[in-house]
Every structure is written in structure tokens, then in C-alpha cells.
Amino acid sequence: MANPLAESETTMNRSATVRPPMLGGNLDATLGRTRPVGLLDHPLRPRWSLPLLALLVLLPVVASAMGEDFYIGLASRIVIFALAATSLNLILGFGGMVSFGHAAFVGVGAYTVGILMQDGIASAWIAWPTAVLVSALFALLIGAVSLRTKGVYFIMITLAFAQMLFYLMVSLKNYGGDDGLTLASRSTVGGWFDLASDTRFYYVVLVLFVLAFVGIQRLLNALRSHAAGHS
């Protein structure tokens, strides 16, 4: 014979584990379910990301106070290369695609800005989006061919495209040839904000890097949530 008190207690325990999902919360955690951390789980932990961001923000202040303004320009270059490395990590670290031609897209964007500047277009509002679009177009065309291969063939075809673009650029004598394309100045944004200042340029680069990094992090988590929803 069933014990009504035991059944009532079991029902109360079950109902206690089901809580309404909080805004922005994880449904699995809300329902008491656990799942193993997967490849695309990429949480952005404030306990280390915020102090690191604070250090990066304070870097120009500390460098100027020590009279070492050289490190501000060096840090700008490091952040630019970190942005390129972050995009490479997206396709290599999470996509599993070993590409030897990733730097070609960075070079295409840089040459786009340089060629536009030589033609009298120095505005960052025009040159930078144009560089992104041109690099994206090259990536689309190269990717359409490269993704038809796999394994070592994918590695070699990306390297081949990178070398073709390299020899194409160095053959353009009007744009520096083997010596590369030298920019007379940085791009301009107009108004009082002058990118000729190393500190201002550093902060612009840092903001773009943070936006790209957070965007990639959100993309990875969205892919993980989508995959979990269909599992």
C-alpha cells in the first residue's frame, strides 16, 4: 500500500528543483542539469579579464609618467597582432582548420589603407571599412576554393594563396615593391581626435580589439547554446 506522506514529500522535492529561469541565466543550470564543458564553451571570466583590461587602459599613463612613450606605440602594434591572432584562433583553435595564409588577409587590408592614402583618401571612416570589405572579399574567394580540400591539402592551398598575394604585392612597383608600402601618416577621423597621437591611436586599437574579442566570445557561446539546444 502506497504511503501518501512519502508521495507528498517526493512531489515537494521534485517541485523544489524546478525554478523559473532567471533573465540571462543558463537553462540547464536553472533546471539542475549538468552537462560536460565542450569545445565551444568559452566563458569570459571577469576576475581575470577586468584586471587585465584595467592594466591595458593604464599602460599609456604609466609609460608617459616614466618617460617611455616608445612603449605606447609598441603596445599598439602588439594589440593589432593580437587581433589577428584572435581571428586565427577562431578558425584554428575552435574550427580545427590549420591555415598558413591567414596573414595574407591582414596584408590585403593594410595595402588597401595604404593605396587609398596614396590616392588622397586618408579618412578612417572610409579607409578602414573598405579594408575590411576587401579583406573579406579575398577571404570569401580563397575560402570557396580552399574549403573544397581537407587535411594537408588545405594547409598547402592556403599557403599557396598567401604566396601568390605576396608576389602580387611586391610586383607593384608604384606601391613600394620589395620595400613595402610606407604610409606618410596615420588615417584621420576628423574633429579634435587626432590619431597622430600614439596614446589616442592606442586607445582606438584597444577598443577595436575588445569589441572583436567580445564578439568572437559571444559567437562561440551562441554556437554552443545552439548545438546544445539541438542535442
In sequence order, which residues have a C-beta less than 8 Å from that of residue 117 and are 6 or more positions away? 127, 183, 184, 185, 187
Residue 139: what pLDDT? 92
Residue 43: what pLDDT? 66
Show the cell assigned to 74. Answer: 609598441
Residue 162: what pLDDT? 93
The domain segmentation of the chain, as residue ranges, is 42-229
Residue 222: what pLDDT? 76
Q: How confident is the prediction along the chain (231 residues), in pLDDT tens digits per residue?
A: 445 544 444 444 444 444 444 333 444 444 444 444 554 456 667 788 888 999 999 999 999 999 999 999 999 999 999 999 998 888 888 888 888 888 899 999 999 999 999 888 999 999 999 999 999 999 999 999 998 998 899 999 999 999 999 999 888 888 888 888 888 888 888 877 888 889 999 999 999 999 999 888 888 877 665 555 555
Instruction: Look at residues 163, 150, 162, 17 and name the one whose alpha carbon lies nearest to residue 102.
Output: 162
Amino acid occupying residue 195: L
Residue 176: what pLDDT? 84
Instruction: Look at residues 198, 142, 194, 193 and name the one whose alpha carbon lies nearest to residue 168.
Output: 142
Q: What is the pLDDT of residues 166-197, one digit of tens each?
A: 999 888 888 888 888 888 888 888 877 888 88
Residue 30: what pLDDT? 44
**Contact (Cβ atoms closer than 8 angstroms) between residue 187 and residue 115:** no
| pTM above threshold 0.75 | no
Instruction: Look at residues 146, 128, 127, 126 and name the one whose alpha carbon lies nearest to residue 138.
Output: 146
Angle between helices 70-89 and 198-229 (to 10 degrees): 20
**Contact (Cβ atoms closer than 8 angstroms) between residue 225 and residue 82:** no
